[in-house]
């Protein structure tokens, strides 16, 4: 099977199972646009399971087919790239990380795929120590805002794995002045999860940035705090 063969099989399947009702149901969650066929999660997973049993389907084929899927802009086709790659998670290595980094230049352009990519792939990367956190350094200033969002969202997997917290706040600090809303949400999400486990250092960090960082970061970061706790992180009014 060639990459073009696999791509055509996936596209034919998507077209045959398209549902305008499902597209309308989820479109409102994507302010950046939602170009989709309207497949259910079950349909996606069933097809992935079928594909991975076919002769000739291996990790190398998935690497080569993924750019074809990503560049179309169709939501489910990118989802297929993510789910197919995840099916070979036991074979992940540094090459996988490098390949994923290229995806943002090709077609990762929404929060849904960004967060799924982080959950599936970085959980494995950090658990198996395939990459150190420092390998994400260049992503902090990436042109693609979703690649920047991926940094704090991926770091949530370090927290979930109960990894070393030292240095995580310093690592995201250069991102705190970022101007993109989706990055603010990612940073706030990470800080909220970090606060649940390490409240004192996170509150010190938030206090340092409360008068200069975007407020949306704090809206997310303080979401689980009590009303009295949140008051501490209000921005000081200019005199």
**CB < 8 Å & 24+ apart, contacts of 203-209:** 203/232, 205/169, 205/173, 206/233, 207/232, 207/233, 209/176
- pLDDT at position 237 over 90: no
- pLDDT at position 181 over 50: yes
Name the residue with tokens 């929060």.
111
| CA pair distance 192, 202, nearest whole angstrom | 9
pTM (two decimals): 0.93
Sign of the alpha-carbon torsion through 147, 156, 116, 220? negative
- The band of 162, judged by pLDDT with boundaries at 50, 70 and 90, is confident
Q: Which residues contact 82 (CB under 8 A, 6 or more apart)?
A: 113, 116, 117, 120
| The two three-digit tokens of residue 100, written as one number | 């994923």
- The band of 238, judged by pLDDT with boundaries at 50, 70 and 90, is low
Greatest Cα pair distance, the chain, in angstroms, is 70
Determine the length of the chain: 239
| CA pair distance 212, 185, nearest whole angstrom | 16
Q: At what angle do helices 59-70 and 75-86 cross, to 10 degrees?
A: 160
Q: What is the DSSP letter of 120?
A: I
| CA pair distance 235, 233, nearest whole angstrom | 6
| CA pair distance 115, 69, nearest whole angstrom | 18
pLDDT in tens, 89-144: 999 999 999 999 999 999 999 999 999 999 999 999 999 999 999 999 999 999 99
- pLDDT at position 73 over 90: yes
Segment 214-230 mean pLDDT: 93
- pLDDT at position 239 over 50: no
């Amino acid at each position: 099977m060639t990459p073009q063969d696999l791509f055509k099989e996936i596209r034919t399947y998507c077209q045959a199972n398209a549902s305008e009702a499902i597209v309308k149901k989820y479109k409102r969650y994507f302010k950046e646009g939602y170009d989709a066929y309207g497949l259910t999660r079950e349909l996606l997973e069933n097809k992935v399971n079928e594909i991975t049993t076919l002769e000739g389907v291996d990790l190398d084929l998935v690497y080569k087919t993924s750019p074809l899927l990503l560049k179309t802009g169709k939501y489910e086709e990118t989802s297929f790239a993510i789910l197919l790659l995840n099916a070979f998670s036991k074979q992940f290595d540094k090459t996988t990380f490098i390949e994923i980094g290229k995806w943002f230049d090709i077609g990762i352009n929404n929060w849904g795929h960004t967060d799924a990519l982080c959950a599936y792939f970085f959980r494995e990367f950090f658990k198996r120590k395939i990459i150190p956190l420092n390998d994400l350094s260049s992503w902090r200033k990436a042109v693609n805002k979703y690649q920047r969002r991926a940094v704090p969202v991926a770091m949530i997997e370090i927290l979930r794995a109960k990894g070393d917290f030292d240095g995580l706040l310093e690592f995201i600090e250069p991102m705190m002045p970022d101007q993109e809303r989706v990055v603010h949400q990612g940073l706030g999400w990470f800080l909220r999860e970090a606060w649940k486990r390490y409240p004192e250092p996170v509150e010190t960090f938030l206090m340092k940035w409360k008068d200069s960082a975007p407020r949306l970061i704090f809206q997310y970061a303080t979401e689980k705090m009590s009303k009295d706790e949140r008051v501490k992180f209000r921005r000081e009014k200019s005199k």
